[in-house]
Structure 1
Amino acid sequence: MENRVVVTGMGVCAPNGIGLSEFVQSLKNQTSGINFHPELKNLNFGCQIAGKPDIDNIDLNKYFTNVQLKGLNASGIVYGVMAGKDAWEDAGLTVTPEENPDWDSGVIFGTGILGVDKFRESIYKVDEGNVRRLGSTSVVQTMASGISAYLGGMLGCGNLVTTNSSACTTGTEAILMGYERIKLKKATKMLVGSCSDSGPYVWGGFDAMRILPRKHNENPEAASRPMSATATGFVPGSGAGALVLESLDSALERRATIYGEIIGGAINSGGQRAGGTMTAPNNEAVVRCLKSALEDSKIKAEQVDTINGHLTATAKDPAEIKNWSKALGRKGIGFPYVNSFKGMFGHCLAAAGSIECVGTLLQFSENQIFGNVNCEDIHPEINKIVDESRIPRSTLNIAPKIIAKASFGFGDVNACVIFKTYDFE
């Protein structure tokens, strides 16, 4: 028998909320975390707004020792450690003593570009001939697995400790990787999630591609417009989300809080064929991924009552809705409720999937479906497929039972996870 897998802890460091309490209130009240950044204006960015977690008043000594903080210049690692340690604590877990690793607990924490500011700092020192002044932290803060290494050591995890990287699919992929490991009884608990650095060196490439909005620099809160006819591109964001996955038997034995159950999912690629490219999805692959997630979950399409989409506020939003409709065989008033949280904090790149999965699961504990912002003018192609009542503009007092969450990324990669409320038996 395979293990059933549940979520027993969560943490988040998002542009519109740090910690579960602040984050859930922001989602319920539709509070934006998108702001104007003078630094981007000074650097001649077309898009001068972004979603960035406000950690200025956070006591980082709660998460790092003074030694760890010395020379720390990697925002993604800071966000990831904050979210990861908060999730561990939220699950009611303690840190393993130094002399005894926890062989049954592991970490899969993904990222895209990590430690870019530290890397820039290091390059200047090397170019100036000051190699000896790099210090001992330049490698661990710039290697992709730096975030999982930090968390694995802080928590004393002795099972698989690794980092995945699949562009904007990263966070959702990490969750499915951890789920599979527990399901197959290779681990009892896995801390999973993802993080993304902040700043112009991460966001600059997207600005150069002209896929970021340029008309809302003076009105940041209106800029991110998923499913809207007036969407002009995604607002870049950053942060981290983290979840503690655990076998159901272990969770029940500990009498842990259970946020929800993962009942299945799927990951695939379109191979950059049949319309799929480095930056655009192969629609057939997306439909296959969504259908495979349903099959893996052993549920019927009509059982999905809510979708949390990738929906980035680009020209691809209508295509995504069309793909959901094809995969589920549902449209009009029969389409599930659908939402995108990116209207409130932008597209957090590698961190997007994990942050949005935290928000997705919070809908179970709140017995609500959170609304969408900035889509008063729904795209006409979406209107042809979905009845407007299925795209809530404000929080609905409706308790979801099964939510499908999907993420799609550069490289033509796709991931979909299916969450279900846990019914205590």
Structure 2
Amino acid sequence: MENRVVVTGLGVCAPNGTGIPEFTSSLKQGSCGIRFHSELEKLKFGCQIAGKPNINNINLNNYFTNVQLRGLNASGMFYGVIAGKDAWENAGLSPLGSESPDWDSGVIFGTGILGVDKFREAIYQVDEGNVRRLGSTSVVQTMASGISAYLGGMLGCGNQVTTNSSACTTGTEAILMGYERIKSKKASRMLVGSCSDSGPYVWGGFDAMRILPRSFNDNPTKASRPLSETASGFVPGSGAGALVLESLESAKRRGAAIYGEIVGGAINSGGQRGGGTMTAPNNDAVVRCIQAAIKDAGVNADEIDVVNGHLTATTKDPMEIQNWCNALGRSGMDFPYINSFKGMFGHCLAAAGSIECVGTLLQFKENQVFGNVNCEDVHPEISKIIDTSRIPQATINFAPRIIAKASFGFGDVNACVIFKAFGQD
């Protein structure tokens, strides 16, 4: 028998809230965390707004020792450790104090690029012949697996500790990787999630591609417009989301609170064929991924109550809705409720899937479907295929039973996870 896998802990460090209480309140109210950044204006970015977590009032000594903080200059590391340690505590778990590691607990925490500011600093030091000034932490701050290594050591995890990277699919992929490990009885608990650095060295490439909005610099909270006719590109964001996954047997033994159950999922690639490219999805692959996830979960497409889409506020949003319709065999009034949280914090790149999965699971706890902000003018191509009542503008009271969440990333890669309200057998 395979293990059933449940979610027992959540943590988040997002542009619209750090910590579950603040983040939940923001999602319920539709509050936006996107702000103007003068640094981007000085650097002559076309898009001078972004979603960046505010950690100025966070006591970092609650997460790092003074030794660890010395020379630490990696925003994604800060975000990931805050979210990860909060999720562990939220699950009722404590860092191991003994010399022996916890062989049943592991970490899979993804990132796209980590420590880019530290890497820039290192390049200048090396070029100026100041190698000795790099400090002893430059390597762990700039290696992709630095985040999982930090968290694994802080918590004393002795099972698999690793980092994945698959562009904007990273967070959802990490969750499915942890799910599979517990399901196959190779671990009892896995801390999973993802993080993304913030700043011009991360966002500059997207600005150069001209896929970020340029006409909202004086009105940042209205800039991210998923599903909208007036969407003009995604707003870059950053942060981290974290989940503690656990076998149902372990969770029951501890008497842990359960946010929901993962009942299935799927990961695939369009191979950059059939219309798929480095930056655009193969639509057939997207449909196949969603359908494979539903099959793996052992549910019917008509049982899905809510979809949390990738929906980045680009010209691809109508096609994503069409892909969901094709995958589910549902349209019009028969389509599930659908939402995108990116209107509230932008597209957090490698952290997007994990942050959005945290928000997705909170809908079970709150017995609500959080609203879509900035899409009062639903794209006409979308309203042709699904009824606009399925796109709630504000939070509605509704107790979802099954939610599908998907992420699609550069490289034509896809991931879809199916969450179920616990106790809804």
Q: What is the rounded CA distance, in whole Å, between the counterparts of 1:380 and 1:396 in structure 2?
A: 23
Q: Give how far 1:57 is off.
A: 1.0
Equivalent residue letter for 1:364: F
Q: What is aligned with 1:344?
A: 344
Q: Give how far 1:94 is off.
A: 1.2
Q: What is aligned with 1:293?
A: 293
Residue 185 of structure 1 aligns to a residue whose secondary structure is coil
Length-normalised TM-score, structure 2? 0.99
Q: What is aligned with 1:319?
A: 319
Equivalent residue letter for 2:146: G
- Aligned counterparts, 1:99-114, within 5 A: 99-114=99-114
Give CA deviations for 1:115-135 in whole Å, capped at 9, x if unaligned.
000000100100110001111
Residue 158 of structure 1 aligns to a residue whose secondary structure is coil
Find out whether 1:24 has 2:14 as its counterpart.
no
- Aligned counterparts, 1:20-419, within 5 A: 20-419=20-419
Give CA deviations for 1:27-62 in whole Å, capped at 9, x if unaligned.
000010000000000000000000000001110000
The structure-2 alpha-carbon separation of the partners of 1:263 and 1:300, relative to structure 1 and needing over 3 Å to count, comes to same
Equivalent residue letter for 2:402: I
Residue 41 of structure 2 aligns to a residue whose secondary structure is helix
Give CA deviations for 1:244-297 in whole Å, capped at 9, x if unaligned.
000000001111010000000000000000000000000000000000000000
Residue 405 of structure 2 aligns to a residue whose secondary structure is strand
Give CA deviations for 1:363-388 in whole Å, capped at 9, x if unaligned.
00000000000001111110111101
Give CA deviations for 1:318-354 in whole Å, capped at 9, x if unaligned.
0000000000000000000000000000000000000
Q: Give how far 1:96 is off.
A: 1.1
Q: What is the rounded CA distance, in whole Å, between the counterparts of 2:253 and 2:57 in structure 1?
A: 37
User: Where do 4+ consecutive residues of structure 1 move more than 6 Å?
Assistant: none
Equivalent residue letter for 1:130: N
Q: Give how far 1:97 is off.
A: 2.0
Q: What is the rounded CA distance, in whole Å, between the counterparts of 2:239 and 2:194 in structure 1?
A: 8
Length-normalised TM-score, structure 1? 0.99
The unaligned stretches of length 5 or more in structure 1 are none
Equivalent residue letter for 2:51: G
Q: What is the rounded CA distance, in whole Å, between the counterparts of 1:34 and 1:94 in structure 2?
A: 33
Residue 369 of structure 2 aligns to a residue whose secondary structure is coil
Equivalent residue letter for 1:82: I
Residue 330 of structure 2 aligns to a residue whose secondary structure is coil
Q: Give how far 1:424 is off.
A: 7.7
Residue 204 of structure 2 aligns to a residue whose secondary structure is helix
Q: What is the rounded CA distance, in whole Å, between the counterparts of 1:303 and 1:57 in structure 2?
A: 43
Equivalent residue letter for 1:11: G
Q: What is the rounded CA distance, in whole Å, between the counterparts of 1:171 and 1:95 in structure 2?
A: 23
Residue 274 of structure 1 aligns to a residue whose secondary structure is coil
Q: What is the rounded CA distance, in whole Å, between the counterparts of 1:95 and 1:397 in structure 2?
A: 37
CA contact (8 A) 2:105 2:159 kept: yes
Residue 191 of structure 1 aligns to a residue whose secondary structure is strand
Query: What's the % identity of the aligned pairs?
Result: 79
Q: Give how far 1:191 is off.
A: 0.1
Q: Give how far 1:184 is off.
A: 0.1
Equivalent residue letter for 1:380: P
Residue 231 of structure 2 aligns to a residue whose secondary structure is coil
Give aligned pairs, total.
425
Equivalent residue letter for 1:35: R
